[in-house]
Amino acid sequence: MNTEILINLVYVVAAVLFILGLKLLGSPATARKGNLVSSAGMFIAVVVTLLDQNIIEFQYIIVGIVIGTLIGAVVARKVEMTSMPEMVALFNGFGGLASLFVGWAALSIALVTATVINPVSAFTLITIFLSILIGGLTFTGSLLAYGKLSERISGRPFVYSGQRIVNSAILIAVVVCAGLFIQDPSDANWLYLAVALSLVLGVMFVLPIGGADMPVVISLLNSFSGIAAAAAGFAIGNILLIVAGSLVGASGIILTNIMCKAMNRSLSNVLFSGFGAVKVSSAAEIEQGEVKPMSAEDAYYVLEAATSVVVIPGYGMAVAQAQHVVKELQELLEENGAEVVYAIHPVAGRMPGHMNVLLAEADVPYDLLLEMDQINPRMETFDVAIIIGANDVVNPAAREIESSPIYGMPVINADQARTVFVLKRSMASGFAGIDNPLFFKDNTRMLFGDAKETLSNLVKSFD
């Protein structure tokens, strides 16, 4: 068996591991195993690819591997769960930047080896251009998403008159640059201009998107990074990079579609940056009244008599790092004879699956994590709904107020439970900046303060 056949067989094994890992990532119960399987596939792919290339010197590659390993290890150990969404955004961005550099390097090699008789093919130039374009867009778009998620810049949508016209003009200019570049690849000025435009387009793509819609953006940018990697694979003729990039791109698009449905947005709306501009509901349309605060001691008596409890987590639970205390309260309620389940909205938190990750960290059984479509038909049967730091995903304005920015968005109907406890630090609006009439409803009680401290007091009351 010659070397080329052996390498291709190993590529097939790595591709199978990628697919198997992706399948395992589809369930919280097997996600960790899926991550390890995919990592093993990538390790095999990298090693075989290095052996397959005519590399003269490995020292720079070894230095890069060491530096990357150290950074990855430090980040994995130090990053807080509250910072996980912005870290994912950064990883997406660097993946896009890597594809940009791979495409650029492939172009340099192609131009050097090209001859008059055997010029660079149009297909190669197109794939190189796509890897550079999508990679640049992903890089700057992810950096901006990182800034919004980390609140280093405002998470509010930035919308101005004629925004779609400007974005369309940039996109048309990129297409023109692509045509001129493919016609004469030796003239690098068109490529430089296209790179600059792609970087600008990434910023313009994310600017009009509000912070509450970031789960959709994270998913879409992840898909873009995969598409850029697949294009880079075509550019350098690496089959495994094409497979890996295609898997990431396809799975990202599927997840984006799921996120869009959860946000009541169309995919075309996302792609053309149309969902940052939303109508603002007037204060008169928001149900107002006096909030009814309650102490943890009084809440204990309600929970002690409850036979069914649903916990609805949000980003506030991540900020308070309250997932472990939630698990303690769940166990005490179950010992008291109550049924306890968790209602997970697809876009709760600031990235897809954020709440699942937090609760998995606290060893909450996976079969207790119910999706929105499973929990809503049962909501009226629950004695108590405990909302921990969630706001927009339980906002009844999505059903009741047509002028609300989130009107039509599927939400968890927490207000239909017999009693609703809302754990919040204050009456501040959620990440979308929208008031929530749930707080003023007759069956709602507000437990103000740090969620972890409030839950700890509830746990102590049971003891």
Active site residues: 392
Q: Which residues contact 83 (CB under 8 A, 6 or more apart)?
A: 150
Tokens at 446, concatenated: 């507000």
Cβ(19)–Cβ(248) below 8 Å: no
- How many contiguous H segments (helices) and E segments (strands) does the chain have? 17, 6
Tokens at 455, concatenated: 């839950």
Burial class of residue 165, CB neighbours in 10 A (0-12, 13-18, 19+): exposed
CA distance 128 to 432: 38
Laid out side by side, the sheet with 384-388 consists of 369-371, 339-344, 308-313, 384-388, 419-424, 444-448
Burial class of residue 83, CB neighbours in 10 A (0-12, 13-18, 19+): middle
Question: Between the CA of residue 9 and those of 45, 189, 236, 247, 401, what are the distances in Å?
Answer: 11, 41, 19, 19, 58
In this structure, how many other beta carbons lie within 10 angstroms of the beta carbon of residue 233?
23
Tokens at 8, concatenated: 């291709």
Neighbouring C-alpha atoms within 13 Å toward the C-beta of 7: 14
Residue with tokens 């939303």: 278
What stretches of 264-321 show up as alpha helix (H) in DSSP? 267-271, 296-305, 315-320
Residue 379 gets the label, from left (phi > 0), alpha (psi -120 to 50) or beta, of: alpha
In this structure, how many other beta carbons lie within 10 angstroms of the beta carbon of residue 70?
10
Cβ(136)–Cβ(99) below 8 Å: no
Question: Between the CA of residue 113 and those of 50, 56, 116, 121, 183, what are the distances in Å?
Answer: 21, 17, 10, 12, 18
Cβ(444)–Cβ(420) below 8 Å: yes
Q: Phi/psi of residue 229, each to 5°?
A: -65, -40
- Return the closest-CA partner of residue 429 out of 156, 217, 191, 69: 156
